[in-house]
Structure 1
Amino acid sequence: MTWIKELFGVEKPVIAMCHLLAMPGDPGYDSAAGVAGVVRRARADLLALQEGGVDALMFSNEASLPYLTKVEPVTGMTMARVIGELLHEVKLPFGVNVLWDPFASIDLAAATGAKFVREIFTGVYASDFGLWNTNCGEVVRHQQHIHAQGVKLLFNIVPEAARYLADRDIVEVARSTVFNARPDGLCVSGLTAGAETDASVLAKVKQAVPQTPVFANTGVRLENVEQQLAVADGAVVGTTFKRDGTIWNEVDAARVKALMERVRSIRQR
């Protein structure tokens, strides 16, 4: 797990989601507030997360529902503008996730200097967004072509709101993904954002690929963070950091501090 300590500076890092408001073209976009409104909200959340003591950040277009598996160009362009306006205030390692387009995610990382991306890189799924196919070979070759080899790739192997078309056990998926695609890390999720990652599934994946970092990707809360980090090599946290634990609310710095204090105590044991 050498790269985790090198990149984040700690073992078992907490990567905090900086959820962006809807982008131009998205059904939920606030055209009256414009992109400036997206920047204002992102800045407030960014500062609250950093004040709360998280280890890293990940910017995503969480409010771009319903998601596309190939996003419109304006989405990545707008995210690049938002992140660019905030870069001088970003004090932590950060990643990006353009939901759910791996090419756009890697492009955005290359444009902004992000150190990692999280995406669906492998598999074929039946999902709420239609038939969801991937081509990992094309994606990693694209990564090479745009000279983004240094960007770490976190593979979400339990996509939210989707299921493998084939009847495959998660242990089989983890092992074959690591062998065939050589991910830098695996992410294990619940059904949707904010839904707790099944600890037994997390444990099975970690046991199957002990040399590959495994992250709890959804539903980590104050009440379960010790159990999740007992297995996982890190956690991606979004919803629990929001006011009242509601995903679309703004980040609550007090909730961030409470969870991070617990995490630090766990690391010291």
Structure 2
Amino acid sequence: MSREIFTVGSQTVIGMVHCLPLPTTAGFDGDYQKILDHAVQDAKILEAAGVDAVIVENMGDTPFSALLNKTQVAALAAATMQVKNAVNIPVGVDAAFNDCEANLAIAAITGASFIRVPVFVDTVVFTDGIINPCAKKCMEMRKALGKEDIKILPDVQVKHAHMLLPYISIEQSAKEAAENGADGIIVTGTQIGEETPIDLIQRVKKVVKVPVYAGSGVKAGNIKEQLQIADGAIIGSSLKEGGILSNPISYDLVKEVLDGLNA
């Protein structure tokens, strides 16, 4: 049994399993099995290299919409189930950009331990329009499913989006997320691969009692500093050759990052 990863001070490292473009997505190449094989391979490498958990995400589905279509939900569920059956560490799911209902449904049926919710209490503008917060829907659905053991990890003021009301502070967003049931909070830079500012992590840590995770830009050179403040890190692009998201996970790069933490 893996150690408890959703606690303050746990220095949890969560690796991203970025799915290749799913069916009906612009980048889908027609090979259904490759999506599943790629996800399982990445998850197994992450586990072998020593991460504490993985998140399965439909990262290849650009351009994103707020909600997944039925085909994407089916494909992400299949990929998550395959990963869950292939590894012995906790598995999470992120139905991006913000489909908390698909997230919870997939987690419930696959036995996933947690979900990431990019837009939980904020209202943001992104490439496909405005996304409204989903905290109420998320908490009520988890209750209705009888799956209150599924941890909910929302972002606050998430990357790749802009706050509709920019005067709202990150402290306010974080406090509202915690008050609305978040089991942990994710803080990011503004883009994939951009380092999460230490001062943002510190500001969020000061106002909430739940674990706080650095959600972008964590790599070998900064993980020790980041996790002296943050309770964990969610890492994707720095574990791939050249930082290219469609590349497979590199065992050597994962080990390099984890060695950085333990240096």
Distance in 2, Cα, partners of 1:195 & 1:252: 19
Distance in 2, Cα, partners of 1:52 & 1:222: 14
Distance in 2, Cα, partners of 1:143 & 1:96: 14
Distance in 2, Cα, partners of 1:103 & 1:159: 19
2:75 aligned partner: 78
Q: Could you tell me how far 1:203 is from its partner in structure 2?
A: 1.0
1:89 aligned partner: 86
Counterpart of 1:63 (choices 57, 60, 64) is 60
Counterpart code for 1:178? A
Query: Comparing both structures, which one devotes a greater share of its residues to helix?
Result: 1
Q: Could you tell me how far 1:48 is from its partner in structure 2?
A: 1.5
**Counterparts in 2 of 1:243-254, with a 5 A limit?**
243-254=241-252
Give RMSD over aligned pairs.
Answer: 1.8
1:111 aligned partner: 109
Q: Could you tell me how far 1:8 is from its partner in structure 2?
A: 6.7
Secondary structure of the equivalent of 1:117? strand
Structure 1 runs of 4+ aligned residues shifted over 6 Å read: none
2:129 aligned partner: 130
Verify the 8 A CA contact 2:101 2:138 in the aligned structure 1.
Answer: yes
Q: Could you tell me how far 1:7 is from its partner in structure 2?
A: 4.5
Q: What TM-score, normalized by structure 2, do the two folds share?
A: 0.93
Verify the 8 A CA contact 2:84 2:91 in the aligned structure 1.
Answer: no
Counterpart code for 1:198? P
Q: After superposition, what is the alpha-carbon deviation per residue over 1:50-97, rounded to whole angstroms, capped at 9, x for unaligned?
A: 121111111000001111112101112111212323433212111100
Verify the 8 A CA contact 1:14 1:56 in the aligned structure 2.
Answer: yes
Q: 1:215 to 1:7 in 2, by over 3 A?
A: closer
Q: 1:163 to 1:7 in 2, by over 3 A?
A: same
Verify the 8 A CA contact 1:19 1:60 in the aligned structure 2.
Answer: yes
Counterpart of 1:98 (choices 83, 87, 95) is 95
Q: Which runs of 5+ in 2 are unaligned?
A: none
Verify the 8 A CA contact 2:221 2:260 in the aligned structure 1.
Answer: no
Secondary structure of the equivalent of 2:14? strand
Distance in 2, Cα, partners of 1:161 & 1:20: 18
Q: Which runs of 5+ in 1 are unaligned?
A: none
Distance in 1, Cα, partners of 2:188 & 2:72: 24
Counterpart of 1:228 (choices 226, 229, 232) is 226
Verify the 8 A CA contact 2:20 2:35 in the aligned structure 1.
Answer: yes
Counterpart code for 2:231? D
1:237 aligned partner: 235
Aligned residue pairs: how many?
Answer: 258
Verify the 8 A CA contact 1:83 1:112 in the aligned structure 2.
Answer: yes
Q: Could you tell me how far 1:216 is from its partner in structure 2?
A: 0.2
**Counterparts in 2 of 1:1-269, with a 5 A limit?**
6-7=4-5, 11-31=10-30, 34-100=31-97, 101-119=99-117, 120-166=119-165, 167-179=167-179, 181-209=180-208, 211-265=209-263
Distance in 1, Cα, partners of 2:62 & 2:76: 15
Q: What TM-score, normalized by structure 1, do the two folds share?
A: 0.91
